[in-house]
Structure 1
Amino acid sequence: MIGSQLHLNIPALFLNVTAVSALITVSVLLFIALLAYAIVTELYRYHVRLPTLPGPSGFPIVGNLYQLAPDPAETLHQWGKRYGGVYQISLGTRPVVVFNSMQAARDVFVGQGHALIDKPRLYTFHSVLSSVASSIGTTAWSESTKRRRKTAASAMNKPAVASYLPFIDELTKALILELLEQGRGGEMAFDPRQAIASAVTDLTMTVNYGARLPPDEALLSEIIDVEDGLSRIKNPLGSAQDFIPILRLLPFNSQSSKAREVNRRRMVYLRRFERETEERVEKGVDKPCIQGKCLRDPTVQLDNIDLMSISMSMVSGGLDTMVNTLAWTIGILAIRPDIQDKAYKAICEAYSSETWGPIEDEHGVPYIDALVKECLRTFSVLRLSLPRSAWKDIQYGDIFIPKGTTVFLNAWGCNRDETVFGSDADAFRPERFLDDPDLPHAAYGFGTRMCAGFHLANRQLYVLLLRLIWSFRIEMSKVPAERIERMRPLEDVAEPFHLAAMPPGYKVRLVSRNLAALSSLLRGNGPCKAQ
């Protein structure tokens, strides 16, 4: 019996030994392969580093990618203090030149703007999500990109923006009414961000397509959710597989699957809105809008992909910047009643002898103009401008940037450059733009590929803030748990790795300054005087 058991167990033991031996062999081979991969990538990473630029050394395979936490823009800002206004980092094996100085950024992005007209290709965004069309701001330079950008810039220049004033007027009044009703004139504290997101989405769609969104909460929620998902993917540091190609081979690739799903959902409503716009243009019932201008102008030589690219640019660009800039601003105004008082006094002085109807002059109240600029500078919602790629070799002093190099503009760092903004660069002080109206800020980027919609964004922010401050006294909630004592754009940002910096949650009370005058304005009983 014992001999039989031994006879039966020997083959099983042999199989177990063989399996263990095979597992060890595979493990050793895998370790050798990974070690060889790490050595080869590290040799390549050092080979492609730019010899004229300093920067942090990084680690094998990943470079500096995982050193950027917890806040990439602030980390790059701090590295700039050590390595200078222009330095290099490595994302995987890709060398990236970072501009962290306002002067250097303007010298190169403006002074040599044609050399930075290109955009780098990022695997997740360009190959997975945007395989058919992508927004103007993310598309590599070509004759098609040039046509699209020229058309979009024409549709969003100052004269064109003036034609959209009726839309801006209507939608800002709708937002004020929504805020008035949600807060019951100041009786109840609430989070205004959902109302802001809804209004900005509606306004963005109206300016682009010439018609307001239908009263469909499901559609509105879908647009907001999809565009938020898109922003996470569009973040140049949001996907490790863009810089570490081996990660693309993982069998369960959640980054790629999420990108495909976001694109599928986005195309549903974009195609719907474009189809409806074409029908209005054919019937001759369209209103001034960007897509209508493109469709009606016989000199505009754009195909369907070009038009889709412009739509993507408008929708994503508006939601990335406007919603979060306004949310940060309402929070800081609640904490800083002194700024509210100055702004309200300036509004009353500007409109003391004439009625306030449509706001046609975006510089009519200089303090509001300065407030807009300081909000854009301080909160720097798009902290890392969308990356560029050198279209040709760049020589800046003793710094040489070869063609094809990826370039980052750290808007956050530039907007805190103490050589420009002084020792109080971290302070929220609109007066700095009254003292020097030509003071620059980097919120929209610089140069040829800067945000094409900055005229429109400035006008929208100006009108919204003017009406908001004229209508309400913004106060913190009376409930301690709902209050915010400080609104610090560095320490309080909700998701540092999101493309657009989001403020923390809070609730405010919007107390009507003059309910009778406000009601008259909102109900269309004619313009009213500031009180």
Structure 2
Amino acid sequence: MERTCGLLVSSLLLLATCLLLLLIKKPSNKGTQNRPPGPPGWPVIGNMLDLGSIPHQTLYRLQIEYGPVLWLKLGSVGTLVVQTAKAATELFKNHDVNFCDRKCFDSITAHNYDQGALDTNQYGAYWRLLRRLYSMELHVNKQLNETAHIRRKCIDNMIRFIAEDTAAACSRGESGEINLAHYLFVMTFNLIGNVVISKDLLDSQSKDGHEFYDAMNKVMEWAGKPNVADYFPFLKWLDPVGIKRKMVRDMGRAMKIVARFVGERVEKKKLAREKEKNFLDVLLEYQGDGNEGPDKISQQNVKIIVLEMFFAGTETMSSSIEWGMTELLCNPDSMKKAKEELNSIVGPSRKVEEKDIDDLPYLQAVVKETLRLHPPVPLLIPRNARQNTNYMGYFVPKDTQIFVNAWAIGRDPDAWEDPLSFKPERFLGSQIDYKGQNYELIPFGAGRRICVGVSLAQRVLHLTLASLIHCFDWELGSGTTPMTIDMNERLGLTLRKLVPLKIQPKKRIVL
């Protein structure tokens, strides 16, 4: 991350001549006297260098001095930061429609991805079509129930791979420690592959799957990189850090492979070799040439939507489960309570099933507490003001970028008692949930832009975490104790552990 920050600084210095052009136009003072408070910025670059490598933490600390809402100037981009439950309530209840457009990173505009995907699309007719399609065809309870066997299969495969790899390592005289994040990412990648295109993408038979995995890893890497062109839009044509060029290359690779997946699926359907309907089949029913009316999706956008499913589903779910396991290992009493609950409800002779989750309130509390402290996208996806707005008595001009700091809101002392501690018990008997109605807990956002995959994520998080706890006893590596587990963060596309969790599983007597 230091290297990345250094690259940004170097780029700014090398482009000083260009940046000085910004000074030619004197900015208007209209409305500035009633802007939210914020730290003073440097000439031209504003507050860019103030954010540091972990911006959500930096912004959280600034709240002490500047209050619940913060104004920053990031290069030429005015930015509002929302940092408390009260401020989030005001935004989502009273100004959601005014702030429901997107401010897209330049890298995401490669191959017009931003115009085809749900999360990055501007609020309008096409966005409503995609929202309806996702909600009705993928995330309603009926569809989720029908795909339960897919989640079960992918999680069972992960458990088997962990057990086999650990046994093989021990037979070689090694410790048997595993990098849990790797197994979680492969599991979620295959899960999305099965839901969308009915394929295990990461198996020995799928050459395209491994190529797609590599390309998507690169796409997610570039999407999470800081980019000077996002702060100075007039430099987009120059692409000074080269991120857009890399994104064009690797997203293009991924799209070519998706095109092959689409072609294979169409042929199988023609030959009546596939009876079961997947999400790609639904997209193909909506496919048109783009000029056939508001309910049609272009061939290019079909590929983009498939990519979005992997974007939205893999890192977010795998990182959340890793954080959940990390917190349980840091808090042995919580791990003990979760195990005892599973032993009581499920018992040692069978696997955890999705139908068990409703009877596991402590497990549900562990998931909520993990998402409170470790929201997968800590600043959510940036919003954009559609018009001038009076928000909490402040003037917010049109085209202001809006960060909602879900990480800070989860630590708001006015909303949470002892907010920095991991205490699942706080949710026992509580009605607080993360589905967009309780603004003190918004790991998936809220309002019109709430993540459409909340229901799927809920099932995967609970079943995966429960299976890991129930199928194995976990030991920390030599020299590591619950008090010395590294809890530092790294921010890319999602919020991951800086040092991946490496732990040793001991298989329990369960099927």
Instruction: Say yes or no: TM over 0.5.
Output: yes
Match of 2:231 in 1: 243
Match of 1:213 in 2: 201
Match of 1:69 in 2: 52
Residue among 328, 342, 346 paired with 1:347: 342
Q: 2:17 and 2:31 mapped to 1: Cα distance?
A: 22
Residue by residue, what CA displacement relative to the aligned partner does 1:72-118 show, whole Å, maximum 9, x if unpaired?
Answer: 11111112222221221111111111111122213312443222321
Residue by residue, what CA displacement relative to the aligned partner does 1:238-293 show, whole Å, maximum 9, x if unpaired?
Answer: 21111124644658652232122222222122222233333344444142432223
Q: 2:154 and 2:49 mapped to 1: Cα distance?
A: 42
Q: 1:326 and 1:377 mapped to 2: Cα distance?
A: 13
Match of 1:290 in 2: 279
Match of 1:428 in 2: 422
Match of 1:459 in 2: 459
Letter in 2 for 1:226: A
Residue among 111, 119, 129 paired with 1:147: 129
Match of 1:234 in 2: 223
Match of 1:438 in 2: 432
Q: Is 2:331–2:482's contact at 8 Å kept on the other side of the alignment?
A: no
Q: 1:59 and 1:136 mapped to 2: Cα distance?
A: 35
* Pair 1:166–1:39, CA change in 2 (3 A): same
Letter in 2 for 1:420: A
Match of 1:122 in 2: 105
Cα displacement (A) at 1:323: 1.7
Secondary structure in 2 matching 1:347: helix
Task: Give runs of aligned pairs for residues 94-113 of structure 1, distance below 5 A.
Answer: 94-113=77-96
Task: Give runs of aligned pairs for residues 107-506 of structure 1, distance below 5 A.
Answer: 107-126=90-109, 128=110, 130=112, 134-154=116-136, 155-184=138-167, 188-213=176-201, 215-216=203-204, 219-235=208-224, 238-245=226-233, 247-248=235-236, 253-284=241-272, 285-296=274-285, 301-351=296-346, 358-360=353-355, 362-422=357-417, 424-439=418-433, 440=438, 441-477=441-477, 479-480=478-479, 485-487=483-485, 489=487, 492-493=488-489, 495-496=490-491, 498-506=493-501
Q: 1:54 and 1:252 mapped to 2: Cα distance?
A: 31
Q: 1:371 and 1:282 mapped to 2: Cα distance?
A: 46
Match of 1:26 in 2: none
Q: 1:383 and 1:303 mapped to 2: Cα distance?
A: 32
* Pair 1:339–1:279, CA change in 2 (3 A): farther
Q: Is 2:228–2:240's contact at 8 Å kept on the other side of the alignment?
A: no
Secondary structure in 1 matching 2:183: helix
* Pair 1:252–1:63, CA change in 2 (3 A): closer
- Structure 2 residues not aligned, in runs of 5+: 1-13, 171-175, 288-293
Q: 1:287 and 1:50 mapped to 2: Cα distance?
A: 60
Q: Name the larger-Rg structure.
A: 1
Greater mean alpha carbon deviation, residues 306-315 or residues 291-300: 291-300
Q: Give aligned pairs, total.
A: 478
Residue among 55, 65, 69 paired with 1:82: 65
Secondary structure in 2 matching 1:427: coil
Secondary structure in 2 matching 1:141: coil
* Pair 1:207–1:503, CA change in 2 (3 A): farther
Letter in 1 for 2:80: V
Cα displacement (A) at 1:184: 2.0
Q: Is 1:102–1:420's contact at 8 Å kept on the other side of the alignment?
A: yes
Residue 40 in 1 paired to residue 5 in 2? Answer: no
- Structure 1 residues not aligned, in runs of 5+: 1-29, 519-531
Q: Is 1:476–1:483's contact at 8 Å kept on the other side of the alignment?
A: yes
* Pair 1:219–1:31, CA change in 2 (3 A): closer
Q: Is 2:445–2:451's contact at 8 Å kept on the other side of the alignment?
A: yes
Cα displacement (A) at 1:510: 0.8
* Pair 1:251–1:177, CA change in 2 (3 A): closer
Q: Is 2:384–2:401's contact at 8 Å kept on the other side of the alignment?
A: yes
Residue among 44, 58, 63 paired with 2:41: 58
Q: Is 1:333–1:474's contact at 8 Å kept on the other side of the alignment?
A: no
* Pair 1:463–1:33, CA change in 2 (3 A): closer
Cα displacement (A) at 1:379: 1.6
Secondary structure in 2 matching 1:418: coil
Q: 1:296 and 1:31 mapped to 2: Cα distance?
A: 48
Identical aligned residues as a percent: 22
Q: 2:344 and 2:223 mapped to 1: Cα distance?
A: 43
